[in-house]
Chain A
Amino acid sequence: MKACVSPYRAVPNSNDAGVSGLCPRVVFKCKGGISGEMPSNKSVSDAPITQFVNCRILKDHRLQWEDLWVREGKILNPERLFFDEEGFADYKVDCENKIIAPGFIDVQINGGYGIDFSQASSDIRGGVAVVAKKILEHGVTSFCPTLVTSPPDIYHKVLPELRVQDGGPEGAGVLGIHLEGPFISEEKRGAHPPKFLRTFKAGGVADLMETYGPLDNVAMVTLAPELANSAAAIRELSGRGIAVSLGHSMADLSQAEEAVQNGATFITHLFNAMLPFHHRDPGIVGLLTTDRIPPGRNVYYGMIADGIHTHPAALRIAHRAHPAGLVLVTDAVTAMGLPPGRHSLGQQQIDIQGLHAYVAGTTTLSGSIATMDMCVRHFRVVSGCTIEAALEAASLHPAQMLGVSHRKGTVEYGTDADFIVLDDTLTVRETYIAGQQVWRK
């Protein structure tokens, strides 16, 4: 930074721009200011440093006029760079007064662009890769591919193929799989196929292994806590660092609280596929305001803020009761990202009209086709929340819920430089993973 004096010298079509991949509009290589060349960089690392300037960054829960510094894929502390290393930026990127926010994290996405993660196709990885690449456009930099209730042979086949992996130009990173079912309530199964539902025999690791196989790439499991022996399963999963989510469940509040005491941290699509709120037994919904969970623990809950699957009033009730726990999810299905019209998806015919996906010829919704950026904008409008709160519901909160906020979901120093550039309408303009531009409008 130090020797760059505006007006900076632009590097048109430079191949050596520090932000490789797509070349953003305005990258300046810092080559001396008023006169002379830059002194040699005395950094502890030779890796180039990029400084994003003229931006408001979402940090400490507020947008602030600060520069964002990146080196080796991580957010850099510029004060330490200055005083400890006496270093400076090699490149500057002019953000033209836009917003920089942590990349979105979608913890519930079943597929999209004609691909269904739960189908054991011949090219499972290829399918995930297609979706991973396309959702960069929505500002999603990490996600949890979600599998609905399936028979064990599908889990055994699909799970080893869906590896936890870093994101990059080829697509958003996979934080781990979200297994929604099959240990869920028959009454609240929703669209999950009843013949594949399961119960816990003992609830320990044996049940889980028998159904899913190895859990190495699993980040989350949605289950119904009222199932017998669920407590042991919840403890086993939490103990392995796998987030346990309550959903597709008939649980009352005390069962839900017990599940949280055993380690559950999340509620899958709040209000949906659970008992409705009742004032004498608020059910799982009551977790939002319960006082019977361990101190310091926060319960998070997923909301599909597409304007279709959750009524704006319900969204507002949840948000006002427990703003720090709100996690925006798309719960997107195969049809997400497809153009309007009729599509054949597996055995189903689907009509896409605007933001609705119907079973062909009916008015039955066939699942969400929301994109994350759209959900963020919709949530902001209908809840009247701040820009900061809307953005954190899709970044910080899911990262905290998954226990990865030390590296994802924030732009704190030392975390992964996964971030997005947005304009004031919260339209995503550019997406970065590990400091590298991976998409731009």
Chain B
Amino acid sequence: MRLVILDDYDLASEWAAKYIRNRIIQFKPRADRYFTLGLPTGSTPLGCYKKLIEYHKSGDLSFKYVKTFNMDEYVGLPRDHPESYHSYMWNNFFKHIDIEPQNTHILDGNASDLQAECDAFEQNITAAGGIELFVGGIGPDGHIAFNEPGSSLVSRTRVKTLAKDTIVANARFFGNDLSKVPTMTLTVGVGTVMDAREVMILITGAHKAFALYKAIEEGVNHMWTVSAFQQHPRTIFICDEDATLELRVKTVKYFKGLMHVHNQLVEPTLSVKDYMD
């Protein structure tokens, strides 16, 4: 596991975006070789998306040969509802970049057969050759995607009922009206994310500090589903200083001492311009 600690949210977002940028460019994606990217929603990745858009606008990064798979979507929420993850992805990312619509995949929470939709999603991932890099965020209770505490650590894409805490936390997006908050979602499983060749977890803010502690300093535990990635051969946690507040000084010092090594992953930052014929 790598733990990359940046001073603040903006720097953490930029570091993550640079890393994704370099990974895509180094992969040399082309028509018969797509880079497959798993993507999260929520407030944490917004800064990272902004940076990726910047890189696209400056001509340094293209998503033409990138396929994306989103982690989750609400059940029964109209697709064009402003809080749907379709709307989120369109407004915060897709409309700004050159990705082709058929290469984006978001679970359809309005499908007539929800489990069939989930199964098809898994098959689509397999057909795309698996996921090269899965980017995720976590909740304060350590959930990854909508794999709430107690979710099986080998779970696959499926329908999930949300924990009361999550519903209450989400009420702010639905006019503080609990009755309007969706109570079910479709989500990739912990196992689905574990199958990715690499996993990147973004964790920022003091309110996520305890989850980060549970994720990396305690054992693997299905009550903190993100801790499953201790078992993944290639996981990179990217966090800000605030998120380290519950970690031991020794842990923080150890990983900060490795920053000069980790920074080599994003320096130099590559540009697609250098790869154009």
Contacts and interface: CB of A to CB of B under 8 A. Distances in A.
Interface of A: 1-7, 33-36, 39, 42, 67, 78-83, 85-88
Interface string B57-100: 10100101000000000000001100000110011001100111
Interface residues of B, number: 24
A36 B276 CA distance: 12
Given A3-B100, A7-B59, A82 B94 contact: yes
9 contacts: A2-B100, A2-B101, A4-B98, A33-B98, A34-B272, A42-B102, A79-B91, A85-B101, A88-B100
A284 B79 CA distance: 47
Nearest to A80: B80
Given A34-B272, A36-B31, A82-B95, A5 B59 contact: yes
**Which residue, of A4, A83, A87, has the highest number of chain B Cβ atoms within 10 A?**
A83
A88 B86 CA distance: 17
A39 B98 CA distance: 13
Contacts of B272: 34
B272 to A, nearest CB: 7
Interface of B: 30-31, 56-57, 59, 62, 64, 79-80, 86-87, 90-91, 94-95, 98-102, 104, 272, 276-277
A155 B276 CA distance: 69
B277 A35 contact: yes
Contacts of A87: 101
Contacts of A36: 31, 64
A83 B101 contact: yes
Contact of B64 (A33, A67, A79, A80): A33
A78 B59 contact: no
Nearest to B276: A34
Contacts of A39: 100, 102
A34 B90 contact: no
Given A33-B64, A34-B276, A5 B90 contact: no
Contact of B90 (A35, A82, A86, A88): A82
Contacts of B87: 79
Contacts of A78: 95
Given A7-B59, A36-B64, 9 more contacts: A5-B56, A5-B59, A5-B98, A33-B98, A79-B80, A79-B95, A82-B94, A83-B86, A86-B100
A78 B95 CA distance: 8
Contacts of A3: 64, 98, 100
A86 B101 contact: yes
A35 B59 CA distance: 13
B98 A2 contact: yes
Given A39-B100, A83-B101, A88-B100, A5 B80 contact: no
A35 B80 CA distance: 32
B62 A5 contact: yes
B59 A6 contact: yes
B208 to A, nearest CB: 30
Nearest to A85: B101
B138 to A, nearest CB: 27
Given A79-B80, A79-B87, A79-B95, A86 B57 contact: no
B90 A79 contact: yes
**A-B complex: 7 closest residue pairs judged by Cβ atoms:** A86-B101, A2-B100, A79-B90, A82-B101, A86-B102, A5-B98, A34-B62
**Which residue, of B62, B100, B102, has the highest number of chain A Cβ atoms within 10 A?**
B100
**Which residue, of A7, A35, A78, A80, has the highest number of chain B Cβ atoms within 10 A?**
A35
Contacts of A34: 62, 64, 272, 276
A36 B101 CA distance: 17
B95 A88 contact: no
Nearest to B86: A83
A140 to B, nearest CB: 31
Contacts of A67: 95
A86 B90 CA distance: 12
A83 B90 contact: yes
Nearest to B102: A86
